[in-house]
Amino acid sequence: MAIIDASNVSRVFPMPAGPVTAVRGVSLTIAEAEHTAIKGPSGCGKSPLLHMLGCVDTPSAGTLLFDGRDVSALSDRERSLLRLRQIGFVFQRFFLLPMLTAAENVELPQAEAGVPPGERRRRSRELLDYVGLGARADHRPSQLSGGEMQRVAIARALANRPRLLLADEPTGELDEATGEQIAALLDRVNADGTALVIVTHDHELANRARRVLTMRDGRIEREDTR
Amino acid sequence: MTAGRRALAFAWRSLVRQPARATLGILGVAAVGALLFDMLLLSEGLVISMRGLLDRLDYDVRVTATDALPGTGPTIDGATGVAAAAAALPSVRSVTTLRIADAAFERGGLSTRGSLQGLGGTSTRRPWTLLRGQDVGGAGELVINEAGARQLGLGPGSSVTVRASCSDQREAAPPVAFRVAGVVAFPFDSPELVTAATTANSLAEACAGLGAEAADFLLVASKGDPTATVADIAALPFALRAFTNEQVIGRLEEGGFTYFRQISAVLTTVTVSFALLLITVLLTVSVNQRLGEIAALRALGFTRARASADIFAESALIVGLGGLLSLPLGVLLAEGLDRILKRMPGIPEQLHFFVFEPQALAVHGALLAATAVLAALYPMWIVARLPIAATLRNEVIS
């Protein structure tokens, strides 16, 4: 069954000079455990599409169903809880909270979801081991390298066992070697059963996906499947 | 952990993360809170202090000839007869007549000016506290306060010459020698003002018989119901005005004490407004610096309410910690200001401008709590209205 079923979705942003259409009539589905990459030049609408897929934004037109539910019909609180329990986000700039340790950053979404303290501590250790940072659980973000911070961010995104992981330029701030490590880690996350959608400029990272969508001017111009 | 405790814990970590901002906010609130606390103590301080002084005398009704406050209007003529009539009322326990004359006190080469009180009536109680020696016993004796004793080098058994000025023309009567029976403290003593007291008859002698039957006011002790006593005295066939202590306080509140309350109200408004602006600016700057983080947390599933609760908790922590710190600061500041204000001439030593009362603490807490809520509103609104997708996009572009 599809986790996401987007049908003819568009996103228009009102601007002082007039409305700008960032996404035009896109239709796609994201199935369980699928690995999809969305690539294209800057301003082609990749991130706005990802934000709609992640339910942080709603389409101006068209229908986007998450698990069969129309996202536009959900309240802000319902969309927040949907994101908390079903979707993980990895950002280009990590957005770890600097005052928390790596383990505490991973615990944060679990605490929000009401996971008991003992269980979330166990889960955080397990996830930090999974991303290879078990020994750095008590380090704060300022004591970690860029690659390590992105690993913690991936662990945080996985904290509530999401069905869908969305990554917006996850290697954009990393050097090539570190980016390769992160890409491999994301492959592993997908191989372990989490559906993965990556937005990237990086052709190598995009080409690791089984399905690659190329966007231009807000439309999916091309779809390649391996 | 409940959502509220989670928000508080999160806010605490946010404060610790930016120690300079947190310290600035807490110290700012502490300074403003101390001023606020002092203004609240000042608004009722004089009234409470004056009420304490009046109650300490153990007289609960004051009687004058007119509506003027005791000691400021015309005298009561035929005071002995009036006192006897008042003392015979069933609601009255005792009556003291009090006449006050200006006087010059001399001993050896030393001299000073002050006032001499003459007490008569049916009461044996004295409106002063004996510190050394004995109370006024017979004719030609007086008690004097510490200021007089210090300035003239007097003590129990000493002699002092008094030149009383008993008429409106301030003409001094012939000098009369008095023996100092004791040194006393008058409730309305000020550190430099010399006050002495003797019997009504001795004062009449010192005044060369002028106004011998006059009293500035009567001090009356009721049998427990001062309001009934006031009504009984009003019914006497004399032109008298009687006031309970509460009525005297009420009249003072309508007069000069109002200024302190008005000043206090203005300064309270200013200090609360300043605290409000300080915390709003600090929180708004902090929120604007963390928009990306907040948008990311929202994307991860934090609800609007939860993200806003963090800001409110931060405001509550800054104001709460600053408010706690403001109390000892406020007490120290109040003591200093009280000392300065009491240097004004004629202010009784036992009168205080800043007096603690539990209600002031409650109002202080309530005003600071309201400040915390109001200060958090605007930054909470920013967080609640934050467009997640646009903010994340802007963070990457910037």
Per-residue pLDDT of B189-216, as tens digits, reads 887 889 999 998 899 888 887 777 788 8
pLDDT tens digits, one per residue of B101-148: 889 999 988 889 999 999 887 777 788 889 999 998 878 899 999 999
CA distance A196 to A189: 8
Tokens of A124: 């955080």
* Average pLDDT score over residue span B152-176: 83
Confidence of residue B77 (pLDDT cuts 50, 70, 90): confident
pLDDT(B393) > 60: yes
Confidence of residue B3 (pLDDT cuts 50, 70, 90): confident
The answer to whether the CB atoms of A56 and B392 lie below 8 A apart is yes
Chain B positions in Cβ-Cβ contact with residue A149 (cut-off 8 Å): none
Chain A positions in Cβ-Cβ contact with residue B303 (cut-off 8 Å): 76-77, 80-81
Chain A positions in Cβ-Cβ contact with residue B294 (cut-off 8 Å): none
pLDDT tens digits, one per residue of B93-103: 999 998 998 89
- Decide if B225 touches A, using CB distance below 8 A: no
- H-assigned helices in chain B: 3-17, 19-56, 79-87, 146-152, 200-206, 226-234, 245-254, 257-289, 291-299, 304-341, 358-384, 388-397
CA distance A116 to A98: 23
| Terminal alpha carbon distance of chain B | 36
Residue written as token pair 């001090």: B219
CA distance B263 to B39: 8
∠A163-A165-A168 over CA atoms, to 5°?
A: 160
B252 SS3 class: helix
- Decide if B9 touches A, using CB distance below 8 A: no
Burial B315-334 (b: 16+ CB within 10 A, else e): bbbbbbbbbebbbebbbebb
**Count of other CB atoms within 10 angstroms of residue A13:** 15
Tokens of B11: 């806010």
Tokens of A117: 């303290």
User: Looking at this predicted complex, what is its ipTM?
Assistant: 0.92
The answer to whether the CB atoms of A92 and B396 lie below 8 A apart is yes
Q: Which residue of A has its CA nearest to B13?
A: A99
pLDDT(B71) > 70: no
- Residue A89 pairs with which residues in a beta bridge? A166
Of A76, A91, A108, the CB nearest to B392: A91
Domain boundaries, chain B: 3-54+256-397, 92-216
Q: Looking at B5-19, B46-60, B69-83, which range is the least confident one?
A: B69-83
Q: Which residue of A has its CA nearest to B301?
A: A84
Residue written as token pair 């001795």: B202
- Decide if A89 touches B, using CB distance below 8 A: yes
Chain B positions in Cβ-Cβ contact with residue A88 (cut-off 8 Å): 300
CA distance B26 to B31: 9
Tokens of B232: 């009984």
Backbone angles phi, psi at B344, to 5 degrees: -60, 140
Confidence of residue B168 (pLDDT cuts 50, 70, 90): low
Ranges of residues in chain A with a pLDDT under 70 are none
Residue written as token pair 């800057």: A42
Of A48, A77, A111, the CB nearest to B389: A48
Give pTM, 2 decimals. 0.77
pLDDT score of B51: 85
Mean pLDDT of chain B: 88
Whole-number percent of chain B with pLDDT over 70: 96
Q: Which residue of A has its CA nearest to B4?
A: A112
Confidence of residue B72 (pLDDT cuts 50, 70, 90): low
pLDDT(B171) > 70: no
A99 SS3 class: coil
pLDDT score of B397: 63
Chain B positions in Cβ-Cβ contact with residue A80 (cut-off 8 Å): 298, 301-304
Tokens of B289: 């610096």
pLDDT tens digits, one per residue of A37-61: 999 998 899 999 999 999 999 999 9
Domains of chain A in sequence order: 2-225 (3.40.50.300)
∠B242-B247-B249 over CA atoms, to 5°?
A: 130
pLDDT tens digits, one per residue of B24-44: 999 999 999 999 999 999 888
Chain A positions in Cβ-Cβ contact with residue B304 (cut-off 8 Å): 76-77, 80
pLDDT score of B309: 93
